[in-house]
Amino acid sequence: MIPIEHCIRKTPDTRSATIIMDVYWLNKKADLRLQRGSGIRRRINALLTGAAHRLRTSWVPGFPRHLILDVFSSCGLHCPICPQGRQEIPRKPSVLDPDLFRTILDCFGPYLYTLTLTNWGEPLRYPHLVELVEYARKWSVYIGFSTNLQTFSRDRIERLLETDIDEIGCSIDGATEPTYQKYRVGGSFSNAIDRMTYLVRRRNELGRRTPKIRWQVLLNCHTEKEIDLIIETGRSIGVDSIVFVPIYVDIAGLFVRTPRERFDRDRDWLPLDSGMSWYNYETGLLKHSPAICDKLWDTMVIHPDGAVSPCCGVIDPQHDFGRITPGRLNGLSLFNNTSYRTARRMIRSGRRLDSGLVCSHCVTHGVLIY
Ligand code: SF4
């Protein structure tokens, strides 16, 4: 955690490196409460899955600690290099069935540390959002989501604030309408800023410490010029933190095009300052790639239709690792089905044991960061 004053004093060059790695904490009282739950089952599960991860076992004697549960499959915007905005997600539109989220949470809820209600969709469009958060509150899981704030009902926000949800990420790329419009096509900057301001104000009026309000900014060739203005605006609104997220190129092409082809497809969107990018501008490759994929041992992604993916970049149904339907769910056997076990073995050995499995891409090209 780096205090903002410290970041601002850095020279532009070193600040670029800092922007990639760190969150600007504007509110010194902000805390993540990731460990809010002290349930014995959660702790034992974390010990078991942590040990499996360290030993790289293909069978994990526990449940995922982090769940990304996409609740609504569309978002309403047309962001030019997002697979959702480009309509490149080859999955039928769907909305999470309330019976399905009860099935999922009854199984995984006691073991979770974090529950994220966004992947490629817009959670504020989901009609059962408040109901879901209230249901998940049975367990001490840290709950949050990201939103573009374009769908906003003050009545629903009041009810959401009453659920004591932990964190809301506001995706607003820029500090001015023209910059915002370049990427968030179909959205309104003034609506997004007004609504983020409203969230902060209402939370404070209610005397609550949560939700923490995080301003998320994708670093592209336009937003890179407004970093100082974004920090200044965030400070005046009173958000708790600002996260600058380097942009990813061609996510829909992750497993069908080479890294270089993907880079060339979207390179015009990357910041001019390569220090603000994940990519090496000479090679078109990621500058860093983790040695091992943690996600296979501690995270699960579930789409609104119940399909299961090993990580959030997997968008094609042909790469699904399973499917959940309402009713009884054996989470342990799902998290250890043939796809999961083979993927863990592949990543551990560095060999493409099953080239039809999506993780074989990461064996060849390096594990993805996101
Ligand atoms: S596709 Fe890559 S990043 Fe995703 S779970 Fe598999 S190994 Fe990990």
Q: What is the pLDDT along the chain (370 residues), one digit of tens a residue?
A: 333 333 332 333 334 434 444 455 555 444 445 555 568 899 999 999 999 999 999 999 999 999 999 999 999 999 999 999 999 999 999 999 999 999 999 999 999 999 999 999 999 999 999 999 999 999 989 999 999 999 999 999 999 999 989 999 999 999 999 999 999 999 999 999 999 999 999 999 999 989 999 999 999 999 999 999 999 999 999 999 998 888 999 988 888 899 999 999 999 999 999 888 889 999 999 887 777 889 999 999 999 999 999 999 899 999 999 999 999 899 999 999 999 999 999 999 998 888 789 999 888 887 776 6
Compute the distance from residue 96 Cα to the ligand 1 centre, in Å: 24
* Residue 251 beta carbon below 6 angstroms from any ligand 1 atom: no
* Residue 308 beta carbon below 6 angstroms from any ligand 1 atom: no
Residues in contact with 290: Cβ distance below 8 Å, sequence separation at least 6, in sequence order: 367, 369
**pLDDT value of position 354:** 82
| Torsion sign over Cα 189, 195, 198, 199 | negative
Distance CA(183)–CA(293), nearest Å, equals: 30
Nearest CA to ligand 1 atom 8: 293
Q: By C-alpha distance, which of 85, 97, 108, 110 is closest to 248?
A: 85
* Residue 329 beta carbon below 6 angstroms from any ligand 1 atom: no
* Residue 343 beta carbon below 6 angstroms from any ligand 1 atom: yes
Nearest CA to ligand 1 atom 4: 311
**pLDDT value of position 4:** 35
**CB-based contact 85:187 (threshold 8 Å):** no
* Residue 301 beta carbon below 6 angstroms from any ligand 1 atom: no
Nearest CA to ligand 1 atom 6: 359
